[in-house]
Chains A and B, each alone.
Chain A
Amino acid sequence: MLPQLVRRVGLMIFTVWGAVSLTFVILRLAPGDQATVQLGPDATAADVSALREELGLNRPMLVQYLDYLGSAITGDFGESYRFRESAMTVVLDRFPATVLLTVTASALALTIGLLLGVLAGRSPGRLVDRVISGITLVMQAIPSFWSGIMLILLMALTLRLLPSAGSGDLRHLVLPAITLAIPFTAIVARITRSSVAEVTTEPYILTARSKGLSERAVLTRHAVRNSVIPVVTIVSLHIGTLMGGAVIVEQVFAWEGVGSLLVGAVGNRDYAIVQAATVLLAIVVVTMNLLADVLNSRLDPRIRAGATTS
């Protein structure tokens, strides 16, 4: 287990380095550097070159890259020109809101998705299965920015039950969390469905039935338990999708998280924030994937055994 974990962590560090570097490259390729952006179109050439000198943009690209990499390791992505504060501090300030939103949405999606998936998967081809499959297909196809707006229209403007935007108390959380959970619920349900449907054809399910176990016991003790493993794997691959969805949902509901901060920073070309936010989100995705892997090897005795013998 341990050597494998070391290898995984090494790969993870490589991936984060790649993400940090790619962000650097994209922002350097973009037209207009930070000095011209910051001073606006009315600035004199002298002012721009002075700021360029101050920001170190006149140095050779390689030196700039190494310097950037060096400070990135310590979490320093420079100062945001709009917030007049360390970019990482601004991003970390907004981070808890994003975590709250994504965790709530995942909890919702996992509960409902697993339920729908088991219901559909235990009787493949039946009416329940068809209906659930249809519903999940629709849930996956609806763009979240649109379902968010429609929820605002229904719940906030027509029924006046919930606030339409902003962050604050828990009532503000309801609509964004539901919106973000919709496509994710569909993903969980579809994976669970096929996993349960596959497991129920296994011989040990037949054995369990022939032992005279109740259908409920067969389902909960034998079928669902064994179908959870692929669900964990694939769901972990979709953590990125969830975080990406959060970026858009936050923008729709003016939820003050990293996502809406990032979209604003991209619009204003506040590169320090863009870098800090993308790197933070990349680290979250990579870490969650690793955690899911570890969790998976805990859940599946076969992987656990395989890892110790290798």
Chain B
Amino acid sequence: MTTTMGLVQSPAPPMAVRTGRTRVRRVLGAIPIMIFGLYVVVGLLGPLFIDYSPVGGDLDDRLLSPGSVLSDGSTAVFGTDALGRDLFGQVIYGARTSLIIGTLVVLISGLVGILVGTAAGYRRGTTDLAASRVIDVLLAFPGILLAIVIAGVFDRSFAIVVVALSVTNWIGFARLSRSMAMTLRERDWVKSATVMGVRRRRIIARHILPFIAGPTLALATTEFAGAILAEASLSFLGLGLPSASVSWGQTIASGKEYLASAWWISAIPGIALALLVICVGFTGDRLTRYFSRKQ
């Protein structure tokens, strides 16, 4: 049997009957990953090819429906907003904002979470107690509330959004690596290393972290989707990002006033956002299934 990620059922199915269906499922299963890849490419390269300025826009072109021809002769595939700015450009630039913020948040919170979680799970005692209490306190703030307060009271900037979202995002990573470190430290190879006098830092680096890496990657995709949703929610509320930046949340919020006359302003960026989150979610689900089967 092939060992392609997440496609092989644990009891090997009879080859001849299943190959056709397996191939179909493999292709279907790859679609979300391909769409996600498309977002990454468009988000990174799109802004190089498409000229879009958040302050530009011709007022003659305001509220044009998708597919209209603009006054400068170009076509607005997704229509224009209330200030005559091209919606297609906003969606592309918004993708870049979402991807960059999502990546930074996951990197920062993943690093902090693994550090705290591994230390708590491996050392236990006071370290574990302190970490658990901090997590308790942070979890008392419902959902996105803490991010709203932080992003709301500080001056708007890119950095504050990343910080506000990372403040609670690391908890998932910490919990995962804590519980894994707790079971791993009882395993034979860790015990032997301890008896052999290997330094603690080295044990964690060589014998514990490599085992945490896989499930953490799976979790990172889920958290990435969560961070993108949370960023969009913040900018929907008008908090966080400077008003000159382009974000899906902002565009959706700005379209709310014009729902009756120009539904596309809110609808299209929302579809772009939901599609991205769905594809990342699918990828994350498959990674989770793959790593939980491997264990």
Of A16, A31, A267, which is within 8 A of B154 by CB?
Answer: A31
**Is A193 in the interface zone, CB < 8 Å from B?**
no
Of A16, A30, A141, which is within 8 A of B278 by CB?
Answer: A141
**Is B102 in the interface zone, CB < 8 Å from A?**
no
| Contact flags A84-122 to B (C-beta < 8 A → 1, else 0) | 000000000000000000000000000000000000000
**Is A19 in the interface zone, CB < 8 Å from B?**
yes
Secondary structure dominating the interface of B? helix
The interface residues of chain A lying within 8 Å CB-to-CB of B245 are none
With A18-B133, A142-B274, A150-B267 as given contacts, are A282 and B149 in contact (CB-CB < 8 Å)? no
Tell me, in angstroms, the Cα distance from A26 to B237 when the chains sit together: 19
B83 to chain A, nearest CB (A): 19
With A27-B153, A267-B238 as given contacts, are A19 and B148 in contact (CB-CB < 8 Å)? no
The interface residues of chain A lying within 8 Å CB-to-CB of B249 are 143, 145
The interface residues of chain B lying within 8 Å CB-to-CB of A241 are 142-143
Question: Restricting to A257-300, which residues have a CB under 8 Å from any CB of B?
Answer: 262-263, 266-267, 269, 271, 274, 278, 281-282, 284-286
Tell me, in angstroms, the Cα distance from A267 to B149 when the chains sit together: 9
Q: Which of B152, B263, B270 has the most CB of A within 10 A?
A: B152
Tell me, in angstroms, the Cα distance from A269 to B237 when the chains sit together: 15
With A18-B137, A22-B137 as given contacts, are A140 and B142 in contact (CB-CB < 8 Å)? no
**Is B291 in the interface zone, CB < 8 Å from A?**
no
**Is B24 in the interface zone, CB < 8 Å from A?**
no
Of A150, A240, A266, which is within 8 A of B153 by CB?
Answer: A266
Tell me, in angstroms, the Cα distance from A146 to B142 when the chains sit together: 20
The answer to whether A11 and B145 touch across the interface, beta carbons within 8 angstroms, is: no
The answer to whether A149 and B270 touch across the interface, beta carbons within 8 angstroms, is: yes
With A146-B274, A263-B148, A266-B149 as given contacts, are A153 and B133 in contact (CB-CB < 8 Å)? no
A93 to chain B, nearest CB (A): 19
Secondary structure dominating the interface of A? helix
B19 to chain A, nearest CB (A): 19
The answer to whether A26 and B150 touch across the interface, beta carbons within 8 angstroms, is: yes
Of B134, B153, B263, which is within 8 A of A274 by CB?
Answer: B153
B172 to chain A, nearest CB (A): 12
The answer to whether B137 and A15 touch across the interface, beta carbons within 8 angstroms, is: yes
The answer to whether B152 and A19 touch across the interface, beta carbons within 8 angstroms, is: no
Q: Which of A15, A146, A274 has the most CB of B within 10 A?
A: A146
The answer to whether B141 and A240 touch across the interface, beta carbons within 8 angstroms, is: yes
**Is A218 in the interface zone, CB < 8 Å from B?**
no
**Is B277 in the interface zone, CB < 8 Å from A?**
yes
The answer to whether B282 and A267 touch across the interface, beta carbons within 8 angstroms, is: no
Of B139, B144, B225, B266, which is within 8 A of A248 by CB?
Answer: B144
What are the 8 A-B residue pairs with the smallest beta carbon separation, nearest first? Answer: A244-B143, A18-B137, A266-B152, A243-B142, A146-B270, A30-B153, A141-B277, A240-B142
27 contacts between A and B (CB under 8 A): A15-B136, A18-B133, A22-B137, A22-B141, A26-B149, A29-B154, A137-B281, A137-B282, A141-B281, A142-B270, A142-B274, A142-B277, A143-B229, A143-B236, A143-B273, A143-B274, A146-B274, A153-B263, A153-B267, A157-B259, A244-B143, A245-B143, A247-B142, A248-B236, A248-B237, A267-B239, A282-B142
